Amino acid sequence: MATVNPFPALRPKADLASQVCELPYDVMSSEEAREMARGNPLSFLRVSKPEIDLSPGIDLYSAEVYAKGRENFARLIQQGTLLQDSKPCLYLYRQIMGTHSQVGIVASASCEDYLQNIIKKHEFTRPDKEDDRVRHIEALDSQTGPVFLTYRASPVIDALVAKKLEEAPGVDFVAKDGVRHTSWTIADEASLGALREAFSAVPSLYIADGHHRSAAAGRVYQSRKGGGQSGGFLVVIFPHNQMQILPYNRVLKDLNGMTPAVLLEKLDAVFILGPSGAGARPTRRHELGLYLEGGWRRLHFRPSFAATQDPIEKLDVTLLQKYVLAPLFGIDDPRTSKRINFVGGIRGTGELERLVGSGEYACAFAMYPTGIEELMAIADAGGIMPPKSTWFEPKLRDAMFCHQI
């Protein structure tokens, strides 16, 4: 059963939160981060991507980068921009993006739950990325980027959250990208006890986003033998029915020696091909959009290809890899191939048109989003999803809450 613990969060002063809180470190380049933080000494990017305060071109994994992050973090604390709560609390974190709203519970999850697979995974992690997050946590002695968890929605937890939302929030701001971020503090013992008891009936939590941060927290916990507060890690936990998953689209550098006509002929064996100009955005599972020669064409997998009960094998990203990318384009490992790139759905299909139109890419596949039920089924079965299967929005802001260990 899931363990959810309160903790005394380190947080920005309410009137400074909009200046401090930033998107996660891994959704932007160093150059983009440098531009985003320009003119804002309080930007948390100076902690999460501290290379922006050093010479361009510096090795991102050099000791100097982690030291600069520690220095910038300490300065935010010393000048009173970040303040620690006086007692352990749970928190609510609401995000509103357009018409979509989601409310998560901010807590310290158990590293033991992670290691024992009560907190379930669906992705492989890369050792180099794990190492980076371990070094960042150790340098700061704090976890500053929350892990995005989900669980099968519980009416009991929904009711407890709804009651708290009736109160005035402590922090409320709209970020530059238009996403609204609001938080409430849960400090009274009755509410804390009720939420912890409710989660004790939740059999599993699922990592939506943050596999490397979770793995790094587990490693720090093991290396410190549970010392201090290292047995917990910073999470925001959302009910599954509030999750918004956008597609993770594919762009291909070349047609692997095929002409567009030959490609379409070969695709006809895998898909029912719709007419040219049928629209960019897929509307259902097993349907894709193909952008080729300046136009869109709707593709639908022929029933025989999707006729499986295996939760991984029937994912659209799996079907595309197995029956198109590997045999037709010669891309056997999309993790390492330089001939494929991945474009998060937040950028829209217009970005796919732009990339192909620039001549840098030959064609693009617009995907239908993977469903949260598919993700949980795969995690329950102990499976691993193909790379770049899900893109969650909105992204959690770094520095809304920090967990000092």
Q: Specify the pLDDT at position 237.
A: 98
Q: Specify the pLDDT at position 30.
A: 95
Q: Specify the pLDDT at position 217.
A: 98
- Which stretches of the chain score pLDDT less than 50? none
Q: Specify the pLDDT at position 278.
A: 65
Q: Please give the Cα distance from 100 to 398 (Å, whole number).
A: 20
pLDDT tens digits, one per residue of 308-338 = 889 999 999 999 999 999 999 999 999 889 9
So where are the chain's domains? 4-239+393-404, 248-368
Read off the tokens for 226.
């549970």
Q: Please give the Cα distance from 291 to 10 (Å, whole number).
A: 46
Burial (CB count <10 Å: 0-12, 13-18, 19+), residue 190: exposed
Q: Specify the pLDDT at position 309.
A: 87
Considering the domain delimited by 248-368, tell me its CATH architecture: 2-Layer Sandwich (3.30)
pLDDT tens digits, one per residue of 232-251 = 999 999 999 999 999 999 99
Cβ atoms within 10 Å of 308's Cβ, excluding its own: 12
How many angstroms from the chain centroid is the CA of residue 221?
22
Query: Which letter, b or e, does each residue of 314-347 get, where b requires 16 or more Cβ atoms within 10 Å of its Cβ?
Result: bbbbbbbbebbbeebbebeebeeeebbbebbbbe
Contacts of 38 (CB under 8 A, 6+ apart): none
pTM: 0.91
Q: Specify the pLDDT at position 336.
A: 87
